[in-house]
Structure 1
Amino acid sequence: MTIFPDEIVANILTRLPPKELVRARVVCKQWHALTSEYIFLHTNLLRHNAGHPIIGGFFLNDEIHEKFSYNTIHRHGSSLDLSYIPTTADTAQSKTYITSSCHGLLLCRRRRRIDGELGVYRARHYVCNPATMDFVEVDIPAGAGQYLNLAYDPSKSPHHYRIVARGHDGIRVYSSRTRSWRTAVRYDGCHSPFAGLRHPRGVFWNGSLVWAMLSPRLLRFAIENGELSEMPLPPRLRSEVWFHAGWVYAYVGESGGHLQVIGYTDEERRTACFDVLEMREEEKEEWTVLYRVDLTRVKELHPGDVRVPRVTLEHFSWGGAPLHVVRGPGETGRHGVLFFSVPGKIVCYDAESREVSVVWEDTAPSPPPSHFLSYTWFNFYAYTPSLVRL
């Protein structure tokens, strides 16, 4: 096994599909060491995606309506499920749902009954890697809060992840390295900095968690030093009259090491044309236009959806909602794609060719339409395979 240099062996192994690579890495210590390096994993994924954005598929997660599925976007992609997480006596009647995801790792929860007569429930939480079928149960201490976010950066620390728990009186952080929690921030519940939160799901970016607020601003928590601060939106989006101008905060996410936001006015909503803005890691709170999006073709595919009677924060006037931005490689992010939900479908929009393809379609009988369609960006979990062992 050692007659070839590491460079040649690594070059051969990068040509294996992710599923076969998981098996190959247990052949010998040399292969396991080579395939555990982040640069190797990155090269392997790029090769199998032919230079396109690195994403293997997406999870759709709706605990309220008890819906859950994984959907691959590649013709030869592998199916995934979480059935390898064992069922315990107190979780036998519950399903597994995703609470947070980050660079190939998932934070999942299963409800467990602790008082059968009173119907009192808590949850078991697991950090898992679907590609390697590894999982670790994490104990969430009482008072830590129910709003949990996974923070994991394989390029900087491939075997260290954190869980950020936001409660009514502070923020606690769990470290996989110490297997313990620490209190990072304390605040008065009556004067919480999270008042006016858009949604409890945060976005991990550049060592921080970022939350969208209902007012035109972002709230940032630096995990290492525990600092809470506000991040500015682009000038055109933080006008004092933003609400009266009909501005809608549609999406905040991370891709390729950059933070992306989508916001649009009433006029942009009606024409289905808007900008995807991004903040780069090396820049100091400066926003640039990543993509100029024209979704006219999506409107043409769904002409009956134009007359939606009411515009909400989650939906365009023509019935679509942005779900996820996948930034293309390189400085300009070319070959990027955007995922949108339209009634009955999830579509993929190529930012360069402007082509639209359907990547998921509801199979539930209609009418009535399935609640599974009502996905906003925080119910959509893009998945990138990772070979890290927990």
Structure 2
Amino acid sequence: MKCQGGGSFPDEVVIQILSRLPIKSLFRARTVCKLWHRLLSEDYFVHLYNEESVRNSMVVVEVSESLDSVPTFICVDRSRGVSEFSLDFLNDRVKVRASCNGLLCCSSIPDKGVHYVCNPVTREFRLIPRRERSMNRFHPDGEPTLVGLACDLHARTFSVVLAGYHRTFGHRPDGTFICFVYDSGSNKWRRIVSFQDDHFTHMSRNQVVFVNGALHWLTGSSSYVLVLDLRYDVWRKMSLPEQVSCGAGTRAYLLELDGGLSIIQISEGWMIIWALKDYEMENWQVVDKISLRCIRGLVPGIFPISQTSEYLFLATHKQVLVYQRKSRVWKEMYSVKNGSMLPLWFSAHAFRSTIFSCK
């Protein structure tokens, strides 16, 4: 296929083909000609590529064999299998705290309070400026309770949210929930104060969903969804379906499903997938009910990580599984060969490959 002639833009058929390539293949294709090289800076192509990418949900997992070992990051793709990727371009030892639309928010392990936002496929990153005051007023251990990343593909902006309970030195937490929001457009932090009394498990902290201009966390008791509306800087609560209740072997998790909110309810024998069909009216509907008979022995330690209308990724202590919703087939995508310090679900995040500059 030649790229000649007086046209200023490749043929639409070529654009459609290129927009479906894996990101590494797309970068190699840029060397074919000047027009193809220019594609990655064209708004139309970037929008088209990202729209295709958001339909392919993946999983990013950090694997550590020991506390002193350098962590290995892997990406699990349903169609392309498992691949390793590195965050060494950050020149720091980091852990992934949040993921959204192809960007990762990472915190420095040796230097608390240092955060990066990066795109691991383009190897671009931004060092988030430190706030004027130290993070050690968060409780506990100087770390924010909640870390959220909101990446708007259309506006090409992102926000980083650090939230937690404020404490006066020498005293117990006073219940004041303080939130700091970094805006990439202004390159500044803003502060939001609320009065919350919410608790979160490790998994509910990790599973933050950005939809409708807001970040959403499921509370540890699974009694409601805590919402931070970034348009108005307001915290509020969203109710769950009455049928969703935890306890006695039942658990619930918050995920994204085709651009909306979804609740995954897991019991001993079944996994029920709820979708929020009407955001304003908070109308939840059951969209799938999955038997767990084939993986009965894994049920107590299985955690859903990401999903689409076609498949669902789940992680156990040592495995990453995919469930094909149409064929109802389970498949092991990855398994830890050696011992691992932490279970895979502990550091697993939903991910997708997009062209998004975070500089």
TM-score bin (small chain): 0.7 to 0.9
2:252 maps to what in 1? 250
SS for the counterpart of 1:235 is coil
2:182 maps to what in 1? 174
Deviation at 1:96, TM superposition (A): 2.0
TM-score (norm 2): 0.79
2:270 maps to what in 1? 273
1:212 maps to what in 2? 218
Task: Say what the alpha-carbon RMSD is for the aligned residues.
Answer: 2.9
Distance 2:117 2:237 in 1: 29
Q: Is the 8 A contact 2:227 2:237 kept in 1?
A: yes
SS for the counterpart of 1:84 is helix
Deviation by residue 1:144-192 (Cα, 9 ceiling, x = unmatched):
55232111121x31x2000111132421211110100111x213xxxx4
Distance 2:66 2:115 in 1: 17
Taking the TM superposition and a 5 Å limit, the aligned residue runs for 1:107-256 are 107-112=105-110, 121-141=111-131, 142-143=133-134, 145=138, 146=144, 147-154=146-153, 156-157=154-155, 159-169=156-166, 170-183=178-191, 185-187=192-194, 192-198=195-201, 199-201=204-206, 202-215=208-221, 216-237=223-244, 243=247, 246=248, 248-256=250-258
Deviation at 1:322, TM superposition (A): 2.1
1:321 maps to what in 2? 302
1:333 maps to what in 2? none
Q: Is the 8 A contact 1:34 1:40 kept in 2?
A: no
Deviation at 1:98, TM superposition (A): 0.4
Percent of aligned positions that are identical: 22
Q: Is the 8 A contact 1:203 1:209 kept in 2?
A: yes
1:388 maps to what in 2? 356
SS for the counterpart of 2:16 is helix
Q: 1:208 to 1:15 in 2, by over 3 A?
A: closer
Distance 1:217 1:130 in 2: 33
Q: Is the 8 A contact 1:105 1:129 kept in 2?
A: yes
- State yes or no: 1:346 paired with 2:312: no
Higher RCO, 1 or 2 (CA under 8 Å, sep at least 6)? 2
Deviation by residue 1:64-95 (Cα, 9 ceiling, x = unmatched):
956542133343775421111124xxxxxxx2
User: Match of 1:280, as an amino acid?
Assistant: K
What is the count of residue pairs matched by the alignment?
A: 323
- State yes or no: 1:100 paired with 2:98: yes
User: Match of 1:297, as an amino acid?
Assistant: C
Deviation at 1:324, TM superposition (A): 1.8
Distance 2:20 2:288 in 1: 31
1:81 maps to what in 2? 86
TM-score (norm 1): 0.73
Q: 1:77 to 1:214 in 2, by over 3 A?
A: closer
Structure 2 unaligned runs (5+)? 139-143, 167-177
1:32 maps to what in 2? 40
Distance 1:364 1:388 in 2: 35
Q: 1:56 to 1:261 in 2, by over 3 A?
A: closer
Q: 1:178 to 1:61 in 2, by over 3 A?
A: farther
Distance 1:123 1:235 in 2: 39
Structure 1 unaligned runs (5+)? 47-52, 88-94, 113-120, 306-315, 329-335
User: Match of 1:373, as an amino acid?
Assistant: P
2:343 maps to what in 1? 373
User: Match of 1:375, as an amino acid?
Assistant: W
User: Match of 1:126, as an amino acid?
Assistant: Y
Q: 1:228 to 1:76 in 2, by over 3 A?
A: closer
Distance 2:280 2:46 in 1: 24
SS for the counterpart of 2:287 is strand
1:285 maps to what in 2? 282
Q: Is the 8 A contact 1:22 1:387 kept in 2?
A: no
